[in-house]
């Protein structure tokens, strides 16, 4: 099977279950949103996929091949992480050249063009970059590798609004011209929501949602009204949580809405991805 398959991955750090029997399939040429709260297990999962750490159990297959100590399989994946793995004294220009050693399809001309669009001086050293530009140079590197599987862990960390906007546009341009699998892990959910095709939500080391954004969004809604009426309405529904403002109650519900069955006095509205995420991952 093509794509990245994670099968029954388990990882414990001491008595913390960072991953518990995680099975997910990242298909080819789709943009994924990997969402989870801090400590939910996102980074552990990504590190297991890229072979940076070893799982205690389970396996990862890349295009059907086990990726464990398999350079050819791992070479199809590029991960941009929050942490900087490049030598601090290296110039950005040299980072590009160096990356090309490991990723032969790296497009240097494209990387230089992107650097111009972000106004990044490639003669600067890694050390001298601000948080925002540090993210930018790593983003540019990731998008230029032409890897089949690109993982972006917190890609917009420290970027100003204009640069975030530019990043999403460039990502879509790149994806349209030369599709690849992109896995975006971010806390800035609303901004990424439009770009994401498929959502995977992790909580306490387990996958709690794995479905298309559209399907997921169609399921979440809120019902607002007098507390008593709302309680009655939600009695037979999958209630995620509630907010109370005086006598007014808002219920967050997961499920298919039957508009005809909504009584007078109850207002229905949709939940956006971020609100849905918050309700799904609240303790």
Q: Which of 176, 259, 260, 261 binds another protein (CB under 8 A)?
A: 176
Distance CA 268, CA 265 (A): 10
In this structure, what is the dihedral angle of CA atoms 54, 60, 64, 65, given to the nearest 10 degrees? Answer: 0
Lay out the sheet containing 149-153: strands in order across: 77-80, 149-153, 181-185, 31-36, 198-203, 206-212
Strand partners, 245: 248
272 binds another protein (CB under 8 A): yes
Number of residues that bind another protein (CB under 8 A): 22
**Structure tokens given for 261:** 């069955």
**Mask: binding to another protein, 10-49, rule CB under 8 A, as x and -?**
---------------------x------------------
Stretch of 62-70, 79-87, 189-197, 222-230 lying at the interface with another protein (CB under 8 A): 189-197
Q: Which of 122, 188, 217, 278 binds another protein (CB under 8 A)?
A: 217
When the beta carbons of 273 and 280 are compared against another protein, the nearer one is 273
Stretch of 60-68, 88-96, 133-141, 173-181 lying at the interface with another protein (CB under 8 A): 173-181
When the beta carbons of 90 and 266 are compared against another protein, the nearer one is 266
Non-local (6+) Cβ contacts of 81 within 8 A are 43, 46, 138, 153, 154
In this structure, what is the dihedral angle of CA atoms 159, 194, 188, 33, given to the nearest 10 degrees? Answer: -110
Write out the residues near another protein by the rule CB under 8 A: 31, 165, 168-169, 172-173, 175-177, 190, 193-197, 214, 217-218, 269-270, 272-273
């Amino acid at each position: 099977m093509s794509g990245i398959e994670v099968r029954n991955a388990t990882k414990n750090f001491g008595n913390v279950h960072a991953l518990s029997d995680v099975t997910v399939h990242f298909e080819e040429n789709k943009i994924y949103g990997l969402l989870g709260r801090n400590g939910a297990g996102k980074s552990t999962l990504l590190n297991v996929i890229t072979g940076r750490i070893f799982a205690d159990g389970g396996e990862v297959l890349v295009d059907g091949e086990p990726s464990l100590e398999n350079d050819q399989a791992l070479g199809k994946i590029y991960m941009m992480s929050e942490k900087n793995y490049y030598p601090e004294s290296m110039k950005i220009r040299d980072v590009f050249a160096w990356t090309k050693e490991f990723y032969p399809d790296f497009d240097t001309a494209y990387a230089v063009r992107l650097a111009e669009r972000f106004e990044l001086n490639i003669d600067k050293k890694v050390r001298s970059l601000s948080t925002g530009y540090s993210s930018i140079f790593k983003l540019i590197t990731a998008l230029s590798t032409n890897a089949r599987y690109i993982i972006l862990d917190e890609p917009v960390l420290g970027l100003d609004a204009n640069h975030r906007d530019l990043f999403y546009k460039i990502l879509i341009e790149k994806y349209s011209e030369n599709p690849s699998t992109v896995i975006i892990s971010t806390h800035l959910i609303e901004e990424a929501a439009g770009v994401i095709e498929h959502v995977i939500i992790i909580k306490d080391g387990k996958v709690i949602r794995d479905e298309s954004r559209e399907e997921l969004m169609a399921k979440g809604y809120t019902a607002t009204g007098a507390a008593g009426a709302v309680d009655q309405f939600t009695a037979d529904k999958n209630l995620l949580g509630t907010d109370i403002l005086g006598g007014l109650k808002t219920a967050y519900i997961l499920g298919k809405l039957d508009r005809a069955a909504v009584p007078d006095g109850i207002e229905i509205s949709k939940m956006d991805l971020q609100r849905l995420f918050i309700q799904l991952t609240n303790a």
